Chain A
């Protein structure tokens, strides 16, 4: 089996900061969604990372905020594995690629509110360290001890799926010998009210692929993997494929052509045939348009029988972190050999022709595709596998 071994991974989401608990939760009927973690005039539920969240060490306190704490909860467990890679390859040969759509904009929201939009902003506020993409990046570089090439990928909801693609490419091109890749996004008023303005925010727990679905729930998360070609690990990143819809800024191409192109490119990158895929972890947001277009694309590329589920009914749509979070959840399922059911999908929409999973089943063959689609028509598909 080709691809890049993944010797270490971690995630923090509404399912908690324990991989074992998160994996178990994918197979139960609980809906761990709750009210937003701040006052906002909206009726909705969110996937909130349960507290207490870890505080940054004193040397990194200037970066502190919800974004940094969620990032820390998912990144800290990788520190030992990153240090071993740095010893083997050299500190500046380990890279970092972080997907994020909003960075720490919640800190700016709080600062602007506190100052009533007039300078000076509060003394506690640090735009570069708390809000900007480079703040999230620098914080994670220092937490992880990464000295090599480092960047944020910010393509809205496909950010951290594309981050996995950049990381794999950097290794193949010799830019780095090992790369930490993943993503982080924290809940903020901007995305909650923005998706409400688009008319796609559900007031109830979301139900991807259901005939009764009425939109998305937002969530927050961080998830990271270490890609290390020299490591021995049972699970691997096999391929990443990207495409653009070239259709509309915020609505998917209803034909599913862009989604299908990303999946085909990912299979090409992995060097495998469609028949080698045993499970699809769908983007599956719960909007009518996304689920229709995605189901069409899955059937076109993989046929009507490969099992499909969305885990967003469990975590909410974690935006820039979704690609990495869902990659980690899918890797946990591959390790265990079973795919999870698509919670809330019953009764499944008759227009959805792909095989939405009503119950758990074996991932056979042990290869999965995880999809992420974004504003700007920015699509990515990630192929993951377990050594047989």
Chain B
């Protein structure tokens, strides 16, 4: 498969998301959100500042490998205790599409969102889905990839700190040209990120520093021992485009 799109802009966050106060989330909604959801709102807000993307109108392709796993583990402690007090808010905050649900409410966005999960290919599939929307639809598309550390007692997975990356994609120039390719056989020389959110963040850095070249979108994964495959992106810049 080969499909291409153009990147109007990108933004990333990596770190302690507990104290984030995303400009797009009113305090009443912010208080109900997890650090992961706040990081999603934060990078979408920064992206909109950078490109003028209309968060109230553009469809959002959201991708997260483990989803709201910290909320889920906390919820399970209550759920598995016969006398446990199960919080309805925590329950509806445990779904994979929690973050874009809150963003759609905060921004009055009725355009529709989707949330994808594809393990090591999570970032790749988000970009492929967005490119497919651009090819079949009639407007720009936002992509946001985010994950948080999987908490104990589950095995350690995900990034070491909350990581989120957002992209404003369009069907035509201006913007960096992104050609998505895969699935292909892995190459030992591939520089693969540890998690899909980190792969997305690496793509963000390549875009904002206008560094052309190949980017491996698939991160290392639990099924690599069985052969596996990778998705890659070729990134190029037109010198006549504004930075």
Q: Do A and B bind each other?
A: yes
Interface segment among A6-14, A238-246, A309-317, A321-329: the answer is A238-246
Whether a CB of chain B sits under 8 angstroms from the CB of A213 is: no
Whether a CB of chain B sits under 8 angstroms from the CB of A70 is: no
Which of A119, A128, A156 sits near B157, CB closer than 8 Å?
A128
Interface segment among B39-47, B93-101, B161-169: the answer is B93-101
Which B residues are CB-close (under 8 A) to A197? 86-88, 91
Given A137-B119, A242-B114, A376-B104, A196:B1 Cβ within 8 A = no
Whether a CB of chain A sits under 8 angstroms from the CB of B236 is: no
A149 to B217 alpha-carbon distance, docked (Å): 13
Interchain CB contact under 8 A, A156 and B110 = no
Interchain CB contact under 8 A, B86 and A377 = no
Which of B91, B92, B114 sits near A166, CB closer than 8 Å?
B114
Which B residues are CB-close (under 8 A) to A198? 88, 91-92
Chain A residue total in the interface (Cβ 8 A): 72
Interchain CB contact under 8 A, B108 and A246 = yes
Contacts of A2-47 to chain B: CB distance below 8 A: 41
Interface segment among A79-87, A167-175, A271-279, A282-290: the answer is A167-175
Which B residues are CB-close (under 8 A) to A196? 86
Contacts of B143-186 to chain A: CB distance below 8 A: 150, 152-155, 157, 182-183
A-B contact count (CB 8 A): 227
- Closest-by-CB residue of B relative to A39 is B82
Interchain CB contact under 8 A, A249 and B116 = no
Interface segment among B17-25, B120-128, B198-206, B207-215: the answer is B120-128
A143 to chain B, nearest CB (A): 14
Whether a CB of chain A sits under 8 angstroms from the CB of B75 is: yes
Interface segment among A105-113, A334-342, A364-372: the answer is A105-113
Whether a CB of chain A sits under 8 angstroms from the CB of B191 is: no
Which B residues are CB-close (under 8 A) to A134? 65, 117-120, 122, 221-223
A92 to B229 alpha-carbon distance, docked (Å): 11
Whether a CB of chain A sits under 8 angstroms from the CB of B80 is: yes
B53 to chain A, nearest CB (A): 16
Q: Which residues of A contact B (CB under 8 A)?
A: 41, 92-93, 101, 105, 108-109, 112-113, 115, 117-121, 127-129, 132-134, 137-138, 147-156, 162, 165-166, 169-170, 172-176, 189-190, 193-199, 242-250, 257-258, 261-262, 265, 374-379
Q: A173-B3, A250-B88 are in contact. List 20 more A-B contacts (CB 8 A).
A: A105-B76, A109-B80, A134-B122, A149-B1, A149-B182, A151-B116, A151-B125, A151-B129, A154-B96, A154-B116, A169-B136, A175-B3, A175-B128, A194-B94, A242-B114, A246-B105, A249-B98, A249-B105, A265-B112, A377-B104
Q: Which residues of B contact A (CB under 8 A)?
A: 1, 3, 32, 59, 65-67, 72, 75-80, 82, 84, 86-89, 91-98, 100-102, 104-105, 107-122, 125, 128-129, 131-133, 135-136, 150, 152-155, 157, 182-183, 221-223
Closest 8 CB pairs of A and B: A376-B101, A134-B119, A194-B91, A242-B112, A154-B96, A173-B132, A133-B117, A173-B135
Some 9 contacts from A to B, beta carbons below 8 A apart, are: A156-B96, A197-B88, A244-B109, A244-B113, A246-B105, A247-B105, A249-B98, A376-B98, A376-B104
